[in-house]
Amino acid sequence: MRPLQPVRGTQDLLPEAVRRHRQVSATARAVAELYCFAEIATPIFEYTEVFSRPIGETSDIVTKEMYTFVDRGGDEITLRPENTAGVVRAMLSNGLIQNAPLKFFYSGPMFRYERPQKGRLRQFHQIGVEIIGVAQPQADIEVIALGSRILDALAVRGRTVLELNTLGDPESRALYRDALSSYFSRRISELSEDSRRRLERNPLRILDSKEESDQRVSLEAPVFDDYLNSYSRDFFARVRDGLDRLSIPYQVNSRLVRGLDYYTHTAFEFVTSDLGAQGTVIGGGRYDGLVELMGGPAAPGVGWAAGIERLAMLVAEPPGPLRPIAVVPIGEAAEPIALTLTEVLRNNGCAVDFGYSGSVARRMRRANRINARAAVLIGENEIPRNVVTLRDLDSGEQLEVPMDPNMSELRVRLANLVS
């Protein structure tokens, strides 16, 4: 029988890890609200065509990485490998396009069958934002500014660099793609096997290869800037000007690409050198052709996604949970009174752990194990006198406190201890 372990490429998020994940997602959610992004949640699985149509039937994601299966009804279903397509599908399914511009924030798990690496698992989690229906560069500036502010709020912006590039409009992109195809075809023998396949489908993806041989050949490849028309140059200049006005530093990286055809104009990444090879913490760009490709009207879009696992590795240790109060009944007669006491304290905002069973010593060991701030003991000595014993677990001091119906004095003393 197979040992009970998580499936390769997945992990259990234990309480400490959950606190880090929650810090990332809660911080991002709060900052996104400042920019008036509404939260959206789409299903974690969709009909396969939702992803295969926009991503491309021959792309690595579709052919190698998607978790696809046929369900009991005979439909081909895929666990979402990314969420932009799902958000666009939700917009179209629910007739929201007429309300454009639309601004969405999301957070949740994604799935790709990849070689598990540090910060890159087969089930991973992302936060992301999308603006749909805004053709002007102000939308590009806003999503980048939002990403920068989230990193600031997480206190990791100083450990990242914003890299920026333009992919031009479709006309410029087509010219550049032809130039790349011609260049790489002349040096095909120097390319990796994967990049030889990319040459047939989309030569831009070769620029994004991590293979040393591909990177060496790419150093002498044509530069996108030489193929930009005046409109594309002006669009990129306005994006850079907006970032300058907001004092958001960036570096232009002419090798930064997005390989899918629906991407246009701005491409960007926030990268760090603190996570090894997997250094991209936020990646995004403009995707003006996606909505139309998915069967909707022509509608521009721009957005980004960020890996929660990677950001969680960068953030400082978040505060632990509130130190609880341990309520310890001594003897069977004290059980119902202690049960009532725990709820009264919880009703007044106290985190309370109830000692379910065992000797006083065993229950006190549990109180220490959960890092309780104080213990409230009630037993045969306290019940007749309508008091409880309050023990400070840091100092060891204890005193008797009267039990009135509202536990007024006890609540005041506990509040002083946990504050």
Mean pLDDT of successive 10-residue stretches along the chain, which has 419 residues: 87 93 97 98 96 72 85 96 96 95 98 86 97 98 98 96 94 90 91 86 82 88 91 97 98 84 90 85 95 94 96 91 92 90 90 86 92 93 92 93 85 83
| pLDDT tens, residue by residue, 56-73 | 655 667 667 899 999 999
If DSSP codes are grouped into helix, strand and coil, which group holds residue 127? strand
Q: What is the pLDDT of residue 82?
A: 93
Backbone angles phi, psi at 321, to 5 degrees: -70, 165
| Total-model pTM | 0.89
Alpha-carbon separation of residue 398 from 20, 36, 382 (angstroms)? 35, 51, 13
CA dist., res. 63 & res. 81, Å (int): 12
Please give the pLDDT value at position 258: 76
* Range 247-251, long-range pairs (CB < 8 A, 24+ positions): 248/144, 248/145, 248/148, 248/162, 249/162, 250/161, 250/162, 250/163, 250/164, 251/161, 251/162, 251/163, 251/164
Per this entry, what is the length of the chain?
419
Q: Which helix (H) or strand (E) holds 103?
A: strand 102-111
- CA 265 to CA 286: how far, in whole Å? 6
Report the top-level CATH class of 325-414: alpha beta
pLDDT number for residue 209: 80
Residue spans of the domains in the chain: they are: 15-169+229-314, 325-414
Residue 60, pLDDT score: 65
Q: What are the tens digits of pLDDT across the range 339-356?
A: 999 999 999 888 999 977
Which residues lie below 8 Å from residue 33, measured CB to CB, with a gap of 6+? 105
Task: Estimate the crossing angle of helix 334-347 against helix 408-418, to 10 degrees.
Answer: 60
The answer regarding whether domain 15-169+229-314 maps to CATH 3.40.50.300 reads: no
Is the C-alpha dihedral spanning 206, 310, 253, 111 positive or negative? positive
What are the phi and psi torsion angles at 104 (to 5°)? -125, 145
Is residue 267 a contact partner of residue 292, using CB atoms and an 8 Å limit? Answer: no
Per-residue model confidence (pLDDT) at position 304: 97
pLDDT of residue 252: 96
